[in-house]
Amino acid sequence: MSEHDGQFEQKEEHEHEHHIVSPVIYLAILLALLVGTGLTVWASFIDLGEWHIAPGLTLFWNPAVALAIACTKMVLVVLFFMHVKYSTKLTKLTVACGVFTFLALIGMTMTDYFSRAWGRW
């Protein structure tokens, strides 16, 4: 029953750590990021319009597309440049934890701002 959890984690990570990402993948990611940059600049000059979901709630496509492209670029950097795709569950959990708390800060603050005018139309 005596086990070594800490050692186990290390062992698991150890196997992952020596996964050396090939330069070909790095190059592909670089190209994808540059294409993404071009795409987002190009898209910013076109009026993509907006979507009236409900009264008082409108989605503007330009910022939505720009942020979507930025998120995609971030995911590529995190997964490949930062090796998270090849890392342990702990690293993945850490990244998820950061994203979650970041969204909690923005999201929960927004609940206040968005609902302040409710019932006052």
Partner 1 sequence: MSAATIVSLPDQSTARIPKMNFLTKENGLLSWLLTGDHKRIATLYLISITFFFFIGGSLAGLIRLELLTPQTSLMAADTYNKVFTMHGVIMVFLFLVPSVPATIGNFVIPMMVGAKDLALPKVNLLSWYLYIIAGFMVIYTMAAGGVDTGWTFTSPLSTHYLNTHVISTGLAIFVAGFSSIFTGLNFIVTIHKMRCPGMTWFRLPLFVWANYAASILMVLGTPVLAITLVLVVLERTVHIGVFDPAYGGDPILFQHLFWFYSHPAVYIMILPGMGVISEVISTFSRKRVFGYTAVAFSSVAIAVFGFFVWAHHMFIMGISNYAALVFSLLTMLVAVPSAIKIFNWAFTLYKGSITFETPMLYAFGFMGLFTIGGMTGVFLGSTGTDIHLTETYFIVAHFHFVMVGGMLMAFLSGIHFWWPKWTGRMYPEKISQFAAVVTFIGFNFTFFPQFILGTLGMPRRYAAYPPEFQALNVFSTAGATILGVGYLLPVLYLTWSLKYGAIAGNNPWQATGLEWQTQSPPLTENFLETPIMDHEAYDYEWLEQQQQKEVASVG
Partner 2 sequence: MSDSTAISNSAAAETHHEHPPYQRHHFETVEQQADTTNFAMWLFLLTEVMFFGGLFTSYLIMRNWYYPAFVEASHQLNIGWGTANTAVLIMSSFTMAMGVWSAETRRKGALVLCLSLTFVLGLAFLGIKTIEYHEKWEKHHVPGLNWSDASFLNPASDPEVHKDYPGDQPLAPDMAQKAQMYFFLYFAMTGMHALHMIIGISILGFMIVRARAGAYTTGHVTYVENFGLYWHFVDIIWIFLFPLLYLISRH
Give the binding site for partner 1 (CB under 8 A): 2-7, 9-10, 90, 97-98, 101, 104-105, 108-109, 111-116, 118
110 is a site residue for partner 2 (CB under 8 A): yes
Q: Which residues of 34-48 are buried (b: 16+ CB within 10 A; e: fewer)?
A: eeeeeebeeeeeeee
> Which of 5, 115, 117, 120 touches partner 2 (CB under 8 A)?
5
**Residue 66 touches which member of partner 2, partner 1, none, C-beta under 5-8 Å by kind:** partner 2
58 is a site residue for partner 2 (CB under 8 A): no
Cβ(96)–Cβ(73) below 8 Å: no
Give me 61's structure tokens: 């496509």
- Residue 39 CA to residue 13 CA, distance in Å, equals 36
90 is a site residue for partner 2 (CB under 8 A): yes
- Residue 104 CA to residue 121 CA, distance in Å, equals 28
**Residue 116 touches which member of partner 2, partner 1, none, C-beta under 5-8 Å by kind:** partner 1
**What single letter denotes the amino acid at residue 97?**
C
**Residue 63 touches which member of partner 2, partner 1, none, C-beta under 5-8 Å by kind:** partner 2
